[in-house]
Structure 1
Amino acid sequence: MFLPLSASLASSPVAMAGNRTMHAVQYDTYGGGPAGLKHVDVPVPSPKKDEVLLKLEATSLNPIDWKMQTGMLRLLLRHKFPYIPGEVIGVGSEVKDFKAGDKVVAFLTPHTGGGLAEFAVAKESLTVRRPPEVSAAEGAGLPVAGLTAHQALTQSAGIKLDGSGKETNILITAASGGVGHYAVQLAKLGNTHVTATCGARNIEFVKSLGADEVLDYKTPDGAALKSPSGRKYDAVIHCASAMPWSTFEPNLSSNGKVIDITPGPRALLTFALGKLTFSKKQLVPLLLIAKKENLDFLIELVKEGKLKTVIDSKHPLSKAEEAWAKSIDGHATGKIIVEP
């Protein structure tokens, strides 16, 4: 959801939208994986009065993109076919806070999508300025992965990123991935001790992000989520695939909670049972609520060098299927970027 405003649109971006076509990648049915993606030419979208028109410079993929394609989230996130997924950095149209030539970061909702294309539209209320210190590729991961990590830590886990408050023991699973690598860095801005899990090849990488101790998830202790220092976790930011509650529960402090960023049916059932039994240990499903001020905060951290986007790989829009397949594979280190 990051894009620079293009001076080429300065004359009349809205008028241009109705007269030009653009290259885009879309799917028109559930299923199919990378083979289900289609390269098409479609009209440049026209922004509504509260939207900005974006010119794509870089976009990043998130698991929600291909999960929506499988139909996994069809009850929660209904959308019409054909669907163009993704997050975007782009160019703004004539709205009060932006002008052609501005550099911006914008959030595209899963309901509308539009990121795997040359142009997209986004709500002005979810669009912020991008300083020159933040590149398009660096910023592309923030609107979904960065905001998810921020919300999980600050709202769900109650971590204060100014370092105040008592020390909190945090576990971050899949810490080398898109959300995980942001979560480690953000957590260390607070008064936290961070335990992290990842694959063996990424242990030193996750340590470099600031994690205090790192577990190989394929080892017995890693699979059991046991802290090497014997700590109990006040909060778990769970970025990996589904795990049974019985794996988490013995590792939690008396009031510990598990924040599940991709909750499935079993997680939702565990959440409901915890509420019904008034358990002090809780599983908390997370649904991202994007806020402009939080996106601004993350961009400022990147500008100041306090947060970084690690780029796993870059792919041209013409080969978006490769990026899609890599995301489905689930072993990316940091963010997968698509560029026109």
Structure 2
Amino acid sequence: MAARTMRAVQYAGYGGGAAALQHVEIQVPSPKKDEVLLRVEAASMNPADWKVQKGMMRPFLPSKFPFVPGEVVEVGPGVDGFKPGDKVVTWLGFALRYATTKFDGTGDPANVLITAASGGVGMFAVQLAKLGNLHVTATCGARNMELVRSLGADEVLDYKTPEGKSLKSPSGRKYDIVVHCTSSVGWSSLESNLAAHGKLVLLFAMATKEDLQFLVELVKGGKLRTVIDSRYALGKAEEAWAKSMEGHATGKIIVERDQVMDI
């Protein structure tokens, strides 16, 4: 029996950007002990992807970055709790339980600054902060200010204006928490706006099963909104890659599998 194959997009070395992506046919893996095989429904194009390609994340490699939703098609020996047909979402970066564990509007009030609030992470940070009863000041580009307000931000700063560059809250409040979603703002600008015992939150990947289930329930309940910037077929992954590298996406950039790619 011939081995099953599937289409994939990959690159073989550092550098090259979108032009270095290669469309290949690879063998469909068989799940080993304690593994499951997923049929990927879609993948989000994240800055981490092209930063790996640029060599900016070498200290974290080798590693796998399975930011995907999909369906279980096979389970390996020893797997408990999953079966073919299950819809799942896999590990993703989640560092937003930074101030409170209450997301019902009854948490302790605090002032939070969220930078790059119209990006894929920032949009979720704004919504979770409001569910946690926080006063949110957010930064983004002028064209996305109304969108960020619609997600719940109390104050929105255009990052290109003098006020936005200073990061100062229009209310004059110092920030108890800064959730830093961009690398373009230096520490000196953040430090001067932090309260005496304020906290700076950097984003790292540290999700648990409980975290993911928590987010899924919020989405199901209509409490967490996902904003899609654009969608691309797998055959146009290079365009999605280039779009992400431009750094001006509003929400998530999605690459979807072709319907003929069933395994």
Same fold (TM over 0.5): yes
In structure 2, give the amino acid aligned to 1:197.
Answer: T
Q: Which residue, 24, 37, 40 being the options, matches 2:24?
A: 40
SS at match of 2:231: strand
| Separation in structure 1 between the aligned mates of residue 143 and residue 101 of structure 2, nearest angstrom | 29
RMSD of aligned C-alpha atoms?
1.7
Partner of 2:166: 224
In structure 2, give the amino acid aligned to 1:292.
Answer: K
Partner of 1:237: 179
Q: Which ranges in structure 1 are unaligned for 5 or more consecutive residues?
A: 1-15, 108-142, 262-286
1:333 aligns with 2:253: no
In structure 2, give the amino acid aligned to 1:220.
Answer: P
In structure 2, give the amino acid aligned to 1:215.
Answer: L
In structure 1, give the amino acid aligned to 2:67.
Answer: E
| Separation in structure 1 between the aligned mates of residue 14 and residue 66 of structure 2, nearest angstrom | 16
Distance 1:159 1:102, change over 3 A: closer
SS at match of 1:66: helix
| Separation in structure 2 between the aligned mates of residue 25 and residue 85 of structure 1, nearest angstrom | 14
SS at match of 1:75: helix
- Counterparts of residues 85-96 of structure 1 (less than 5 Å): 87-92=67-72, 93-94=74-75, 95-96=79-80
- Counterparts of residues 314-333 of structure 1 (less than 5 Å): 314-333=231-250
Distance 1:96 1:90, change over 3 A: same
Shifted more, 234-243 versus 308-317: the winner is 234-243
Partner of 2:57: 73
Distance 1:21 1:324, change over 3 A: same
In structure 2, give the amino acid aligned to 1:196.
Answer: A
In structure 2, give the amino acid aligned to 1:336.
Answer: I
| Separation in structure 1 between the aligned mates of residue 251 and residue 186 of structure 2, nearest angstrom | 25
| Separation in structure 2 between the aligned mates of residue 294 and residue 159 of structure 1, nearest angstrom | 11
SS at match of 1:90: strand
Quote the sequence identity (%).
63
Per-residue CA distance 1:125-176 (angstroms, 9 max, x = gap)? xxxxxxxxxxxxxxxxxx34xxx2xx23x1x344632333421100000000
SS at match of 2:71: coil
| Separation in structure 2 between the aligned mates of residue 52 and residue 308 of structure 1, nearest angstrom | 29
SS at match of 2:245: helix
Partner of 1:210: 152
SS at match of 2:58: coil
Q: Per-residue deviation at 1:78? A: 2.7
1:168 aligns with 2:85: no
Aligned residues between the structures = 253
| Separation in structure 2 between the aligned mates of residue 226 and residue 45 of structure 1, nearest angstrom | 52
Q: Per-residue deviation at 1:86? A: 5.5
**Alpha-carbon contact 1:65-1:86 (below 8 Å) kept:** no
- Counterparts of residues 83-232 of structure 1 (less than 5 Å): 87-92=67-72, 93-94=74-75, 95-107=79-91, 143-144=92-93, 148=94, 151-152=95-96, 154=97, 156-158=98-100, 160-232=102-174
| Separation in structure 2 between the aligned mates of residue 49 and residue 325 of structure 1, nearest angstrom | 37
Q: More helix per residue: 1 or 2?
A: 1
| Separation in structure 2 between the aligned mates of residue 182 and residue 325 of structure 1, nearest angstrom | 23
- Counterparts of residues 254-273 of structure 1 (less than 5 Å): 254-261=196-203
| Separation in structure 2 between the aligned mates of residue 300 and residue 165 of structure 1, nearest angstrom | 19
Per-residue CA distance 1:167-217 (angstroms, 9 max, x = gap)? 110000000000000000111001210000000000000000000010000
TM-score (norm 1): 0.71
SS at match of 1:314: strand
Q: Which ranges in structure 2 are unaligned for 5 or more consecutive residues?
A: 258-263
Partner of 1:267: none
